[in-house]
Amino acid sequence: MLERDYNSEFRHAGRPLTPAHAPGLRSAAKCLIESVKAELDGALELSPAEAGIQLIGWLPDGLDDNAVSRAAAARGVSVVPLSFYYRAAPRRRGLFLGFGGTPPDQMRANVRRLAEAIHAVQNHPRE
């Protein structure tokens, strides 16, 4: 019996295990990473990931991920605050940033709007 790696199409770092959809996801991840570096350098730290369709963006200390998520939603961008998954107060706050199925132009525009949301919360913490 041959075993198939069903998650291989979600790998975007390292050698792809199958040619399925990996190149598209890899380029989407690369676009997200490059856009975040261009628009949010220093305001959002991306965790490296070898697989998946989302990355974690760590926020600077003291910035409320729920407030950033609400500010992003007000600008048409959906990000999930990591604190949503914590039972206790989070030690560090961040956001899940999905990129699967997002065209590069839309991804860049979404990251620009996310940057606006982060800067708005930094300047007016109650947004």
Predicted TM-score (pTM) of this structure: 0.76
Q: Which structural domain range is residue 25 located in?
A: 17-123
In the chain, how many domains are there? 1
CATH number of the domain that 52 lies in? Answer: 3.90.1150.10
71 within some domain: yes
List CB contacts of 92: < 8 A, sequence separation 6 or more. 58, 59, 61, 82
Q: Which of 37, 92, 32 is nearest to 60 (CA)?
A: 92
Compute the distance between CA of residue 81 and CA of residue 92 in angstroms, rounded to an integer: 11
List CB contacts of 113: < 8 A, sequence separation 6 or more. 72, 75, 76, 77
1 within some domain: no
Q: What is the pLDDT of residue 22?
A: 57
Q: Which of 61, 33, 53, 51 is nearest to 96 (CA)?
A: 53
72-103 pLDDT, tens digit each:
999 999 999 999 888 887 788 999 998 888 88
